[in-house]
Amino acid sequence: MSQTANPRHTRKIAAALVGIALLLGAVPAVAGAACQTGPTSKPFSRFGDTAEYMPLAGGSFESGAPGWSLTSSAVVSGNESYNVAGGSHSLAIQPAGVAVSPTFCVSTAEPSFRFFLRQTSGSWGVLNVVLRWTDSSGTSHDTTVGSLQTGTSWQASPVLQLATTLPLTTSASAISAKLVFKPEPYGGAWAIDDVYVDPHSR
């Protein structure tokens, strides 16, 4: 027995198929597609962190501080004591100083960052670490991701949040950001070295 298709039923099926096609087209790109990555290593493995990291541009301070904006800060002799990247220099930041990294790309595939730090003067002090980022309207925001206290010996920073701090809506979206290192006013001076970004989702 032949059957005649119901036009209304046919239209519903067609609409459903179109909706599925649109949803498939909206699936985000593979994580990490938004930002390019370079060579990686495991500089914090001795601290129990076996994640792969890549160096932030100019963050070893072995060739000066190219791309960095420095106020009351300067590259000085003396490398971080763990020698994870070799070299003989670090960045000194005075109590009223500010060090701003070059702009770099952040997507959901860059979840965190770490670096080495030590306090070089003062009986107390806090090093504020700020993520400076620009939203889709071009408005700049400063978001504090860490307020660190340590001794006079070199230490690895905690794992500091990067991608999760930003309004990244899909794995294919990306935001331009900078890292800002700023001692608490009237506190001590600081040194930082070997700044690394984790380019792999955990």
Give the residue with greater pLDDT, 10 vs 80. Answer: 80
Task: Please give the distance of CA 45 from its chain centroid, rounded to a whole number.
Answer: 19
User: Nearest CA to 131 among 71, 90, 181, 95?
Assistant: 181
Alpha-carbon gap, residue 44 to 196, rounded angstroms: 10
**81, 153 in Cβ contact below 8 A?**
yes
Q: What is the SS3 assignment for 121?
A: coil
Residue 201: the pLDDT is 56
Q: What are the extents of the domains in the chain?
A: 29-198
Fill in the DSSP letter of residue 85: S
Structure tokens given for 67: 């791309």
- Say whether pTM exceeds 0.85: no
pLDDT surpassing 90 at residue 171: no
**22, 161 in Cβ contact below 8 A?**
no
pLDDT tens, residue by residue, 95-114:
999 999 999 999 999 999 99
Q: Which CATH superfamily is domain 29-198 in?
A: Galactose-binding domain-like (2.60.120.260)
Give the Å distances, CA to CA, from 169 to 25, 134, 142.
16, 15, 19
